[in-house]
Structure 1
Amino acid sequence: MKSLEKDLPKLLKKYFGFNSFKGPQEEVITNLLGGNDVFVLMPTGGGKSLCYQLPALLLEGTAIVVSPLIALMKNQVDAIRGISSSEGIAHVLNSSLNKTEIKRVKDDILSGTTKLLYVAPESLTKDEYIEFLKTIKLSFFAIDEAHCISEWGHDFRPEYRNLRFIIEKIGKTPIIALTATATPKVQDDIQKTLGMMDAKIFKSSFNRPNLYYEIRPKINPEKQIIKYIKENPGKSGIIYCLSRKKVEELAELLKVNGINALPYHAGLDSKSRAAHQDKFLMEETDVICATIAFGMGIDKPDVRFVIHYDIPKSLESYYQETGRAGRDGGEGYCLAFYDYKDVEKLEKFLASKPVSEREVGLQLLHEVVGYAETSMSRRKYLLHYFGENFDEKNGLGAKMDDNSMNPKTLVNVSQEMQQILTVVESTNEKLKLKDLVNVAVGRESAITKSYKLGFENYFGFGKNKSDNFWKSIIRQAIVNNFLYKDIETYGLLKLSDLGKEFINETKEILIAEDVDFEKEMETPIVSVQAAGSNALDKKLFDDLKDIRKRVAKKNAIPPFAVFQDPSLEDMALHYPTTLSELSNVFGVGEGKAKKFGKEFVEYIAKYVEENDIERPDDLVIKQIANKSSHKVFIIQSTDRKLDFEDIAKAKDLTINDLLNEMESIVYQGTKLNIGYYVDKLLDEEQQEEIIDFLMDSESDKMSVLLDEFGEDYSEDELRIMRIKFISEVAN
């Protein structure tokens, strides 16, 4: 096992074509190989599936992957088969198979061919499957989309609750549970339900810096959607609606307006659903109008926009759904339309549910309202919800939301904040948000009556302000960590130590002046261009996309299962003309190069010859059409070991501008060879000191580096070292 762990980077390259692991992937895999239970909390696009796919290929036996959707299983099976010469390496076992297909699956498992078996939780309840699985060597269980286990999760599936008992019946093996969205409450619930409280926990940042978040008033949303899509032709996108009827109406309206759109919801027959999904994956339709039934199983990296026609029921749903945009690191525009009337409809819908379900639903809905109405950085609000702090001035993606781009007028509410915190203290922390609002405005309710709060001198202290004003104050108190929601009694607001300090010594707290969500904003619709989505040789990149489509069709798989966009971009930068060269392209590797590469390298060789492109033997950087690109110029200049001052001067940039450009390049995943320049700035010992710190640090923020090294090094020196570190370690 030790030798396996040592060789993981080589094995990653061999099987998946990647040069390095993302985030905690390597540590997760090492722990799973070591027989530990593992809990992985990683955002959409963070590379969760690799955490169980690679160890499954390496370990003896078959890994059981429990997955909630047939579409999701099919996608992943296609992807794994794409890197192997054996079709039987991965199989699905679910209700869609006939007897002959089930026999083939079992035969492949018994012969030791199958390394990954994808099953629906419902299939695992069948006695015949349980008995069969008892007889085979299992490597581990992977529970994908693990938030489905929790009643507090946004996609709760009751059949997931029994997984622990089924696994114990089949036989004890390590468990890896994975999810892209889990608040501390959901995480705790998942671990308890699966009996894995001692699991090693790996939590990646939920920040997706390439996504731009925007909320708009829901005024003529159809007109706004059509305008946006027309201004962004050919881009792939998903529009979410809460009702099937609206999905159908909107898809039809888009088609009438010349937009290539299709509907997707649970009311369509399975054949139509599969056909519409395949057309979207195969790039035969640009836009899918869908209910939340669509998306969980969609591993399409180049979705460029996600629009919520209706506000979603929870921030987990919102995060999961917006997370389907820009998974390749490129542009991802996330627009949601907000009208409080929609929230009231959802509240009425919840009124018919059992009490416990209703309470959960209302709490989750109130969080969404807070997000829609907030004046603060939406990214900060969203990340705080998942238990993560965000620096809205210097953090990655700091300006990528409407509130940060167009700040609202703010007013100081420190006195009101102190008043509301004092009420929480005076009522012994036994009220929820709506109860606190009722106390502030002096409105009697069942809770205020039961606790006889109407007789207290603070009852109605804020009746000169609206409900929404006090909701904003309370939400700001939560975001500022003055108040928190207790995990066990979810919804009751508790006073933190910071909150107690604030009562005794106030400081300035700013919130937006009353926002009129009924008034139409005049802000024009803009396309948000995120970094990293432009290929270098645009003509070659477009041609390669056409070839990819052709190869994909021939193999009956989606285009991205052949090569993802970043791989095509790399080809358009490096012009590989042999399979050996192609295997060194980002995200390719030997297996994929052999399986799909022939047409690509033959075309590139012809393209290079016809366009008289110079290709240095070392395959560093080639002459390309887009000569004005700073990115290309910087990569070429650093490869030629030019001084940074000369590079900046040649493009009329300041050193600060140049470092900004370099940071953008390396954070997009491209390597910059700047060791020659760093060696002139700092000696080996100094470099090691900073690299060691970054290796152990939880953050690479400049503020963290300056706190540690500000007295010994300049900010430019630290930025240059950070660029070197990201380039060499992360890329």
Structure 2
Amino acid sequence: MTPEKDNLHKLLKTHFGYDHFRENQLDIIQDIISGKDTLVIMPTGGGKSMCFQLPSLALSGTALVISPLIALMKDQVDALKANGIRAAYYNSTQAPEEIEKVTHDLREGHLDLIYVAPESLSLLDTLLQEIQVNLIAVDEAHCISSWGHDFRPAYTQLGYLKKRYPETPLVALTATADVSTQDDIAEQLSIPKAKRYVASFDRPNLFLDVRPGQNRIQQILAFLDNHPFESGIVYCLSRKSTEQLAQKLRDADHTAKAYHAGLDAKERAKIQEDFINDKTPIIVATIAFGMGIDKSNVRWVIHYNMPKNIEGYYQEIGRAGRDGIPSHTLLFYSYADTIQLRKFIENSANIEYQTAKLERMQQYAEALSCRRKVLLNYFGEFLIEDCGNCDICKNNPEYFDGTTIAQKVLSGVTRLKEQEALGMVIDVLRGAHNASVYDKGYQHIKTFGAAKDIAWKDLQQYIIQMINQGLLEIRFRESGRLLLTSLAKEVLFKGKKVQLANLVQPIVEIPKERKPKKPKGTLFEKLRELRNELARDENVPAYIIFSDASLKDMEDQEPTTEAEFLQISGVGQAKLERYATDFLNVIKAHTKKPKKTKIGKTHEETRVYIEEGLSIEEIAEARNLTTGSIFNHVLKLYEGGMHIDFDQFITTQEIAQIEKAQEEIEDASSLKSYFMHFEEQVPYWKIKLGLYLLQKR
């Protein structure tokens, strides 16, 4: 590892408590540090903020962060401060004395990052020219684009920043942006040569579930009975629906509040604050809610109505499971929703574009193939295998060999020179005798009437399945015309088979289960109670103390020393100093009672990787867990009777080095002493394994 990379990894662990960067993060950070402009498309929960927060620490000066959401600013600044980072925000809601302190700290170079709303940027104009701005980050950058799903005029004036600071790297970040929106962002921000990083849109921890829209209330109540004491959001199309549904949930003894633009600002702020602080676990809201919330422990998102496009839907479900823990997304779909949404967009300036987007959302809801494939295909990412974590994969429909139908459709699209939309393709294939077909002379092409034996609606569904499988692409900004993909050519010319699903919608049964009791006595619950108590004392959201993922890692690893606590995911130096004593006391008290070695589902998943011969680090990366957790799994599996060849994890020479260190170091009971003895080059888990094997001898 180069000195620069080594330094970045140290900053990552010291301030954020993580051992590894996520996909693309290190490359983006290195580009920013070297002065390059970048455009980052990374899903919600994918680690966008890290891409500008960490370089702000590695560079001298202050990072300027443009953020459209005041609530998000406050949360991010609180989280940064909890990690020992000097951060502040500046906006119109602050008291004069607060503004005075922020401007003083900025002028004196006491801030690593300053968050500013685009509307407030001009107020800091003079001061910013007096200080060293080390990077400019434009968060939620889709707001700059009229093609984006959240056009915001104040963002369109940010193009001057690059002209004023030509040598300062500018990074634009957003969770979702198609190619058109990406181009628009780069043009408006004057960064045409910015390197683009498009991370995988896959959020494998999210279960994707779509159900028919009948009996929605009963289905939601049954769902909540199966997900007790969890935090979640229900999205509705109208203010009235949010009020009515929230009331029905309260009538069923759930703590729920409605949130919409009709409430006054103070009430909205209070509702949002109570949700963030886990006082109100359920929010029933219009789409205005959630964009400014960095809450990591939302366990589910329900869409009472279908959203108007996949970008919005993807961003809203992305508010669940940001901590990487399995979470559920549920979408109710009915044709009545699409009619209502069509009325909403009737008077839009770009109605054709909006309609095409809505139709694609409808196709996702009606899909009979793996939903994750459909979702990722939309963003230009193709999965080979089905995901196994959606309603279709869990309850597979019956399939038949649809290769002949697919070939007819693909040939039809080819004969139409990839210039026509779905409706015309169907008309031509079915041999429709209408003016639209005859005016263009399509009755004379070879594939006219090639699928006349298939009903219009059925053929439409088959083509939607083909789009969802990545055989066809829709160009929304070009009248929705259909194009062949590279996969299509394999079907036409290389004999690739196509499976299509029979057009039978499954009947959804509404489960009737009693609400389970709150689990008591588990280490996770004890740690969560401590976290809530500390959060109340510090007046910050609980997840800012530690995420659920960190608590689960503590439960899994059961650290009893500060050195072991530092190995927990999300524990950096600042949080070690502030919270280690309290959390270690709870863990020690819980682990005093001897427990039988319990082999759970998570251990069994690790067993598979061990049998494949993977290293601890490789298993940790594959499972998105810490190396410490995987090490604990290995020991529990071994003590539970599994034969493990420890040579795949540690060499005889390494064990000998640890044995020698035992004799040389002053405090042989301290893991940190070993860690420092080996100049931080031997990971803690390997030291623990070496000592364990020496003890077994």
Q: TM-score scaled by structure 2? A: 0.83
Counterpart CA distance in 2 for 1:678 and 1:487 is: 55
From 250, 263, 269, the equivalent of 2:264 is 269
Deviations 1:453-478 (A, max 9, x none): 46768656545544432333333443
Any conservation in 1 of the 2:109–2:131 contact (CA below 8 Å)?
A: no
Alignment partner, residue 378 of structure 1: 371
- The correspondence of residues 124-143 of structure 1 with structure 2, limited to 5 A, is 124=121, 126=122, 128-143=123-138
- The Cα of 1:49 is off from its aligned counterpart by 0.8
Alignment partner, residue 189 of structure 1: 184
3-state SS of 1:596 partner: helix
Any conservation in 2 of the 1:44–1:323 contact (CA below 8 Å)?
A: yes
From 224, 228, 237, the equivalent of 2:232 is 237
From 99, 121, 125, the equivalent of 2:96 is 99
- The correspondence of residues 597-676 of structure 1 with structure 2, limited to 5 A, is 597-605=580-588, 607=589, 612-613=592-593, 625=595, 627-630=597-600, 667-671=623-627, 672-673=630-631
Any conservation in 2 of the 1:90–1:116 contact (CA below 8 Å)?
A: yes
Counterpart CA distance in 1 for 2:615 and 2:297 is: 28
- The Cα of 1:515 is off from its aligned counterpart by 3.1
Question: CA RMSD of the aligned region, Å?
Answer: 3.6
Alignment partner, residue 552 of structure 1: 535
- The Cα of 1:22 is off from its aligned counterpart by 1.8
Deviations 1:81-109 (A, max 9, x none): 1122x7xx222222212433322221111
3-state SS of 2:397 partner: coil
Deviations 1:214-234 (A, max 9, x none): 110000101100111123211
Any conservation in 2 of the 1:144–1:179 contact (CA below 8 Å)?
A: yes
Deviations 1:675-724 (A, max 9, x none): 9837469999xxxxxxxxxxxxxxxxxxxxxxxxxxxxxxxxxxxxxxxx
3-state SS of 1:551 partner: helix
Q: Structure 1 residue 37 and structure 2 residue 26: aligned?
A: no
Any conservation in 2 of the 1:216–1:336 contact (CA below 8 Å)?
A: yes
| 1:429–1:666 distance in 2 versus 1, CA, 3 Å | closer
The gaps in structure 1 that reach 5 residues or longer are: 528-533, 614-622, 639-643, 685-724
Q: Structure 1 residue 209 and structure 2 residue 196: aligned?
A: no
Q: Structure 1 residue 154 and structure 2 residue 149: aligned?
A: yes
| 1:575–1:148 distance in 2 versus 1, CA, 3 Å | same
Deviations 1:494-528 (A, max 9, x none): 33465456446765422222234xx742374899x
Q: Percent identity?
A: 38
What letter corresponds to residue 100 of structure 1 in structure 2?
E
- The correspondence of residues 665-704 of structure 1 with structure 2, limited to 5 A, is 667-671=623-627, 672-673=630-631, 677=645, 679=647
Counterpart CA distance in 1 for 2:47 and 2:558 is: 27
From 102, 112, 115, the equivalent of 2:112 is 115
Counterpart CA distance in 2 for 1:53 and 1:92 is: 14
Counterpart CA distance in 2 for 1:682 and 1:117 is: 45
Alignment partner, residue 569 of structure 1: 552
Alignment partner, residue 521 of structure 1: 508
| 1:500–1:42 distance in 2 versus 1, CA, 3 Å | closer
Any conservation in 2 of the 1:418–1:506 contact (CA below 8 Å)?
A: no
Comparing 462-471 with 33-42, which one deviates more in the overlay? 462-471
Any conservation in 2 of the 1:181–1:320 contact (CA below 8 Å)?
A: yes
From 431, 444, 447, the equivalent of 2:420 is 431
Counterpart CA distance in 2 for 1:456 and 1:603 is: 76
Any conservation in 1 of the 2:403–2:497 contact (CA below 8 Å)?
A: yes
What letter corresponds to residue 431 of structure 1 in structure 2?
E
- The correspondence of residues 240-639 of structure 1 with structure 2, limited to 5 A, is 240-354=235-349, 357-393=350-386, 398-441=387-430, 448=437, 451-453=440-442, 462=451, 465-486=454-475, 489=478, 491-496=480-485, 499=488, 502-503=491-492, 507-516=496-505, 520-522=507-509, 524=511, 539-577=522-560, 579-605=562-588, 607=589, 612-613=592-593, 625=595, 627-630=597-600
- The Cα of 1:557 is off from its aligned counterpart by 0.6
- The Cα of 1:260 is off from its aligned counterpart by 0.8
Counterpart CA distance in 1 for 2:376 and 2:538 is: 40
Any conservation in 2 of the 1:134–1:170 contact (CA below 8 Å)?
A: no
Any conservation in 2 of the 1:483–1:499 contact (CA below 8 Å)?
A: yes
- The Cα of 1:255 is off from its aligned counterpart by 0.4
What letter corresponds to residue 371 of structure 2 in structure 1?
R
Q: Structure 1 residue 59 and structure 2 residue 59: aligned?
A: yes
Alignment partner, residue 16 of structure 1: 16
| 1:447–1:552 distance in 2 versus 1, CA, 3 Å | farther
Any conservation in 1 of the 2:411–2:447 contact (CA below 8 Å)?
A: no
Alignment partner, residue 82 of structure 2: 82
Deviations 1:665-684 (A, max 9, x none): 96041323579837469999
Counterpart CA distance in 1 for 2:62 and 2:439 is: 58
